[in-house]
């Protein structure tokens, strides 16, 4: 009986030591994709400095949330849109 109690205690101790719990939180990311006539356009996000579109880059990463997208061509605004991006989503913005 004494050996059985020691064996049960030992098994309980060993079973408790092998348990490992972890939590993985993925980084918040959203993406913008510009389609249509993307020649000679400048993009401004949330009033930031305008940047030209790069044909080598398909998706532009940004944080989730509300953003103001402003697209200009030859100093004329062609798109001005307020968008809300969820986490891990891609929004396609059509450029006329």
Task: Give 24-69 pLDDT, tens digit per residue.
Answer: 777 789 999 999 999 999 999 999 999 998 888 889 999 999 999 9
pLDDT at 20: 66
Is residue 38 in some structural domain? Answer: yes
Instruction: Quote the CA–CA distance of 52 and 43 in Å, as a whole number.
Output: 6
Is residue 81 in some structural domain? Answer: yes
- Helix (H) / strand (E) containing 63: none
Is residue 3 in some structural domain? Answer: no
Q: Provide the sign of the torsion angle of the four alpha carbons 45, 51, 52, 55, taken in this order.
A: negative
Furthest-apart CA atoms within the chain: distance in Å? 90
| Structural domain of 57 | 27-95
Question: What is the tens place of the pLDDT at every residue in 7-19?
Answer: 776 677 666 666 6
The CATH number of the domain holding residue 32 is: 2.60.40.10
Decide if 83 contacts 69 (C-beta within 8 A): yes
The count of structural domains within the chain is 1
pLDDT at 19: 61
Q: Report which of residues 16 and 2 the model is more confident about.
A: 2
pLDDT at 69: 96
Residue 1 — very low, low, confident or very high, per pLDDT cuts 50/70/90? confident
Is residue 21 in some structural domain? Answer: no
Is residue 22 in some structural domain? Answer: no
Is residue 11 in some structural domain? Answer: no
Is residue 1 in some structural domain? Answer: no
Is residue 19 in some structural domain? Answer: no
pLDDT at 18: 62
């Amino acid at each position: 009986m004494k050996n059985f109690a020691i064996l049960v205690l030992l098994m309980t101790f060993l079973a408790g030591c092998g348990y490992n719990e972890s939590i993985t939180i993925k980084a918040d990311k959203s993406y913008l994709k510009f389609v249509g006539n993307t020649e000679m356009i400048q993009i401004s996000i949330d009033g930031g400095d305008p940047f030209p579109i790069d044909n080598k880059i398909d998706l532009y990463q940004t944080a989730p949330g509300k953003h103001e997208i402003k697209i200009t061509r030859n100093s004329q605004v062609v798109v001005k849109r307020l968008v809300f991006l969820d986490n891990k989503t891609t929004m396609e913005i059509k450029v006329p």
